[in-house]
């Protein structure tokens, strides 16, 4: 009897692990394309509340930028 219950529980865990999907708890990431006269400051100011400097740092980190320089047509992921 114990072996049967253990087998059923094991199968249930196996099925659950195969069927489990990401919940996307963080939501879809937003992507922006840099337009003429855009700066990281202006993009951060438009899309984030709070300290713009922190938002710039987050954007730089998410996009592996070496500096705050961006160019027209560049796509940036906003975390």
Query: How many structural domains compose the chain?
Result: 1
Residue 10 lies in a domain: no
Which stretches of the chain score pLDDT less than 50? none
Averaged pLDDT of the chain: 86
Q: What is the CATH number of the domain that holds 71?
A: 3.10.350
Residue 50 lies in a domain: yes
Token pair listed for 10? 């094991």
pTM of the model: 0.63
Residue 76 lies in a domain: yes
pLDDT tens digit string along 45-58? 999 999 999 999 99
Which of 77, 78, 59, 79 lies closest to 69, judged by CA?
59
Q: Is 41 within 8 Å of 52 (Cβ atoms)?
A: yes
């Amino acid at each position: 009897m114990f072996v049967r219950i253990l087998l059923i529980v094991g199968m249930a865990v196996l099925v659950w692990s195969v069927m489990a999907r990401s919940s996307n708890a963080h939501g879809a990431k937003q992507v922006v394309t840099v337009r003429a006269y855009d700066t990281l400051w202006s993009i951060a100011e438009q899309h984030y509340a709070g300290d713009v400097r922190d938002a710039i740092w987050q954007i730089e980190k998410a996009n592996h930028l070496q500096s705050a320089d961006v160019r027209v047509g560049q796509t940036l992921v906003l975390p």
